[in-house]
A and B are shown apart, each in its own frame.
Chain A
């Protein structure tokens, strides 16, 4: 009986969004009379940071500071349609819709500024600080605040835009059954190192080293925090979490946080995160969906590490001490 060490590796491809009956998200953008921009969505920020990312995307597209943008994700009854926040699709789908809406709003904004400055709209550009100026002649400029006031009270224009992004439904080819379930994939690879106690079946994850390829990190610190949390959650799925440990028998399922196990702050593996950026062809500023993807590669990596350590293949999650001991017993019985 001994503590045995093992190392496992796994790599994954993960689709951004899904393809059922088509996968749309819409967005509306409009300016207030004082030149702030509202983005209306029904996509939900559930902690992953969608509001921040959508504000960055809108600000970058219109050419204003991020703090001039307000994101309203309040109401799925009244907001423009979104399929929802799931399948790692939020940044990709809603981001593209926001870009389209913001471009339309920017165009109206430049047209109003052109009338005020008596130049062509195509000769104007934003300075990113809240002003619009003539290209090559920055002294000829007007603040977006004044443009918005003019649009509202003088010119009778609505500085607004409509955006929509749709991944159309993909039908399987009749002959081959081939289809295109997604247009955009994120990738990841994890190496996990574990110790397995072959007497108790207990697994300790010593280190997890993860590389994530996520298109472009629109907010690198928020990407990092999601990847760190996701890596933890992957280990949690690999070793701890289940509602039905003897599925399909429902006995002994956890009914509360006492019985539904997750690793706590004392059970953390040494975690390394490396981000690779290879901008996607159809993502907003090259982004893909890093969300759910980041909690996946740890699971097969840990399973492989357990195999490396004690020579048993556990193919049911979570990899509990009981499953390991049963497998070791079967192995010994030959």
Chain B
């Protein structure tokens, strides 16, 4: 099959690749571009492990064709740390012991980031709603909810 070019911004860097037409963004990121932070859990839109941020929106990369992302601004968990300093969400997940096997973590973190970008002071219900598309097998969710609330508090203190 003919390859098609795709070009987008990934975590602030211009990225270009030739892919088979029909390749999902998840597979393009993991297998072609080498960003393995989005995980493939179900490959059919039911687990949230593959979540990424496309032009500010939370998207499932397993249901997104890479060739529809031309010109897009894509962010993944791999791009959140700045200069070796963890993003407040990453820090909060570590401190709250909100990760065990870690498979759900990158999806949880980008889902939480989209929430906090829009709702800097979320309620517990807001957090639950924002994470409700992401499955975690290990933690029982409570430590993750607490981590997101902690990160939100840390953010608002920094802003104040």
Interface on A for B, CB 8 Å cutoff? 46-49, 221-222, 224-226, 228-233, 256-258, 262, 264-266, 268, 271
Q: CA of A235 to CA of B157 in the docked complex: distance in angstroms?
A: 36
Check if B8 is an interface residue, CB within 8 A of chain A. no
Residues in A with CB closer than 8 Å to B138 are 47, 229
Residues in B with CB closer than 8 Å to A46 are 101
- Contact among B41, B101, B143 with A228 in the assembled complex (CB-CB below 8 Å): B143
| Interface contact B97-A222, CB-CB below 8 Å | yes
| Interface contact A257-B47, CB-CB below 8 Å | yes
Q: CA of A225 to CA of B141 in the docked complex: distance in angstroms?
A: 10
Residues in A with CB closer than 8 Å to B127 are 265
Shortest 3 CB-CB distances between A and B: which pairs? A47-B101, A232-B140, A257-B46
| Interface contact B132-A225, CB-CB below 8 Å | no
Q: Known: A225-B139, A257-B42. Contact between A265 and B145, CB under 8 A?
A: yes
* Nearest-CB residue, chain A, relative to B140: A232
| Interface contact B139-A229, CB-CB below 8 Å | yes
Check if B135 is an interface residue, CB within 8 A of chain A. yes
| Interface contact B141-A265, CB-CB below 8 Å | yes
Q: Known: A256-B46, A258-B46. Contact between A266 and B128, CB under 8 A?
A: yes
State the Cβ distance, A293 to closest chain B Cβ, in Å: 15
Output the residue of A226, A229, A232 with the most chain B CB within 10 A: A229
Q: Which of B53-111 contact A (CB under 8 A)?
A: 97, 100-103
* Nearest-CB residue, chain A, relative to B145: A265
Interface on B for A, CB 8 Å cutoff? 41-42, 44, 46-47, 97, 100-103, 127-129, 131-132, 135, 137-145
| Interface contact A224-B97, CB-CB below 8 Å | yes
Q: Known: A225-B100, A257-B46. Contact between A264 and B141, CB under 8 A?
A: yes
State the Cβ distance, B126 to closest chain A Cβ, in Å: 11
* Nearest-CB residue, chain B, relative to A257: B46
State the Cβ distance, A131 to closest chain B Cβ, in Å: 30
State the Cβ distance, B119 to closest chain A Cβ, in Å: 16
* Nearest-CB residue, chain A, relative to B95: A221
| Interface contact A48-B100, CB-CB below 8 Å | yes
Residues in B with CB closer than 8 Å to A230 are 140
| Interface contact B131-A265, CB-CB below 8 Å | yes
Residues in A with CB closer than 8 Å to B101 are 46-47
| Interface contact A228-B128, CB-CB below 8 Å | no
Residues in B with CB closer than 8 Å to A224 are 97
Q: CA of A225 to CA of B96 in the docked complex: distance in angstroms?
A: 9
State the Cβ distance, B110 to closest chain A Cβ, in Å: 16
* Nearest-CB residue, chain A, relative to B43: A256
- Contact among B42, B137, B141 with A268 in the assembled complex (CB-CB below 8 Å): B141
Residues in A with CB closer than 8 Å to B44 are 256
Q: CA of A232 to CA of B139 in the docked complex: distance in angstroms?
A: 8
State the Cβ distance, A113 to closest chain B Cβ, in Å: 36
* Nearest-CB residue, chain B, relative to A46: B101
State the Cβ distance, B58 to closest chain A Cβ, in Å: 15
Further contacts, 13 of them, CB under 8 A, given A229-B140, A257-B46, A266-B128: A47-B138, A48-B100, A224-B97, A228-B139, A228-B143, A230-B140, A232-B140, A256-B42, A257-B42, A257-B135, A264-B135, A265-B144, A265-B145
Residues in A with CB closer than 8 Å to B135 are 257, 262, 264
Residues in A with CB closer than 8 Å to B102 are 47
Q: CA of A257 to CA of B49 in the docked complex: distance in angstroms?
A: 12
| Interface contact B132-A229, CB-CB below 8 Å | no
State the Cβ distance, A274 to closest chain B Cβ, in Å: 16
Output the residue of B47, B142, B144 with the most chain A CB within 10 A: B142
Q: CA of A264 to CA of B131 in the docked complex: distance in angstroms?
A: 9
Residues in A with CB closer than 8 Å to B143 are 225, 228
